[in-house]
Structure formats: structure tokens, C-alpha cells
Amino acid sequence: MASVKVAGIDCGTNSIRLMIATVDDHGMHVEVPRIMRVVRLGQDVDKTHRFDDAALKRTYAAIDEFADVLKSHPVDALRFVATSATRDAENRDEFEDSVFDRLGVRPDVIPGSEEAALSFLGATSVMEARHDADELPDAPYTVIDLGGGSTEMVIGGDGRTAPIDQVVAAFSMNIGSVRMSERHLVSDPPSEDEIRAAIADIDEHIDEAFEHVPAYRTGTLIGVSGTVTTMSGIALGLREYDRDTVDGARIGFAEASETCDRVLRMTRSQRRGYPVIHPGRIDVIGGGALVWDRVLRRIGDAVAEHDGRTLNSYVASEHGLLDGIVLDLGRRMLND
């Protein structure tokens, strides 16, 4: 059976991730599990539209680490994907040149639409492996990828008029944990006025997303990204983060909303008392929690208003953009 060994790097606003896997006709087989480093590449980009020198230094250190891993695990191909922060940075040429010098590939600065499609691919690729064919969760699947600078909303087919793993509509919103925290939630803890301003900003973007994505059709909501999995871990009452426990867990909207509100209103010092929260997310997880809470509320309301159905839970997933990058690269190489 033909197979290829590939690597993917997902360089986001808050973190950068590497994964190496073999891809064949049966799917993706991970050889080097995800390595994640919080580098805050998008520090102040929303305000200055430029990469900060300290942020670049942190990111280059992580990329150098990834380069060493790749030397020990040679691959047939590597794809480096950069997202929201790099899309917004005026001095991104310097960053792209430095990545090439270190890895021998230039970053693919992808648009939000491709980011959404790859996140959908990664999140839905494991659904059949988790469930028997007659026990799959209700379609269509709506995937929310809540990043540091942007949040992608994408819905797939219903299994009748379109395959459930086919993207039907997608939209990228310029809201995320870092962007909302830096733009609005600057006090510690955030003030009521700051929270109200952030909610207005978030809801405006969700309104726009709903013009492109029929989220009211959602059968199963899947949440991916560090913010979502962190909030899910807290909602599950974990003392420390456990990837296997969070991955695939179904969380009720009411429990998630209470958790999001509690984390939003914590001081940074209080958040440090939760080992589930990665130290690199302490100062921005409140912004992410607020975005996630508003997305859950708005999609739940849209479903109820459209046809009276009740959508009151989501599935947390550890599989998102990075999985999609690797799987898509491997499949394209096999097809070629």
C-alpha cells in the first residue's frame, strides 16, 4: 500500500504546533505526536499591524526546536501554515524569510476560508473511527475553530444532499482569545464595561458569519483549539489537563456557559491556580472564553428559532487545523 510521511506546522496567533504522520489510503497514522509551544506571535498585532521583535524571537526559538525534530524524523514533505496574525502583519516578509532559512520551506499564509476547510477536515476525520457507521452523531457537523486572532465557523453536508465530510459553507471571523483580550479586556479582572464592549464586538462578527453559514442547520457542534479544549477540561473538573479525557467529550451548553463566565471574571492570579490552563494562556483565556460562550449561545438560539430543535451540547476535539494540514498534504501527495 502506498504511503507518504509528512509533517505539518500550524503557526497561529498564540501558539505554534508540529506533527509528523504517515498517510495512506486508510488515513493518518501519527509518528510524532503534536508538539505545541505558546509563543504569542500575534502580540499587539491587532494594534500595531506588525510583528513584535520579542514575539518573533520566541517563535524562531520554537521553529529551531521543530527543525531539530525534523532532522531526526525525515519526511517526504513539510507544509508550514500561517494564519491570522501573519495575515495581518505588515512586516511578514521578514518572518517568511526567516522561516525559509530555518526549515527550507516558505510559510503558506492561508486565507480564513482555507483555514476553516482544513479545520473541518481535521475535526471530522476522526468521527468514523470513534463511532460505528449507524451511531454517528447527527449531521450536519458545524466546526468552530477558536484561535488567538480569528475564529472559523464551517458547516458540512447533511449526508443526503451532500456528504457529511464535505464543506458546505465557511466563514472566518476576526475575533479570538488574543485579539479580544488585547482590544477590550485590559483590566484585571475585566470590568463590566469592557465585557459589554467585547460582547458587542463578538456578536457583530457572529451576525456576519450567520449571513454566510447556515448554522441553524447544525446537527452536531464540534469545538476545536486550545481555548475550547481548555474550557472543556475545566468544565469536566480536571485537576490537570488530560488530552484523552477531553478529546471527544460532550459538554452541555449550560455547564460550558457557567465555566466560561467564571474564567472570564477571574483575575490572572486566580487562573494560575488552575493547572488545566496552560501558563501561556493565562492572560488571554478570558477573551477566548467569552467568544466561546457567545458562539454557543448564538448557535443554540439559531437552531431553536429556526425549527424548534434543542441543541444543548458540543463535542470537544483535539483534532483540528494541524490534523487537517497533515492529512490534506498526505492525500495530495498520494494523488500526485
Which residue carries 501558539 as its cell? Answer: 15
Question: Which domains, from first to last, does the chain contain?
Answer: 3-112 (3.30.420.40), 131-318 (3.30.420.150)
> What whole-number percentage of the chain has pLDDT above 90?
93
What is the average pLDDT across 144-168? Answer: 95
Instruction: State residue 134's pLDDT score.
Output: 63
Instruction: Tell me the pLDDT band of 132, cut-offs 50, 70 and 90.
Output: low
Element (H, E) at 154: strand 151-156
Q: Is the pLDDT of residue 246 over 70?
A: yes
* pTM of the shown model: 0.95
Using an 8 Å Cβ cutoff, are 123 and 143 in contact?
A: yes
Cα distance between residue 258 and residue 100, in whole Å: 44
| Backbone angles phi and psi of 192, in degrees to 5 | -60, -40
d(CA 138, CA 38): 34
45-68 tens-digit pLDDT: 999 999 999 999 999 999 999 999
What is the DSSP code (8-state) at residue 128?
H
pLDDT at position 133 is 59
Q: How many other CB atoms are there within 10 angstroms of residue 106's CB atom? A: 12
Q: What is the mean pLDDT of residues 229-255?
A: 97
Q: What is the predicted pLDDT for the residue at 130?
A: 72
Beta carbons within 8 Å of 285's beta carbon, 6+ residues apart: 177, 227, 230, 231, 263, 271, 277
Give the pLDDT score at 70: 98
Helices and strands (H and E) in the chain: how many = 14, 11
Side-chain-side CA neighbours of 66 within 13 Å: the count stands at: 30
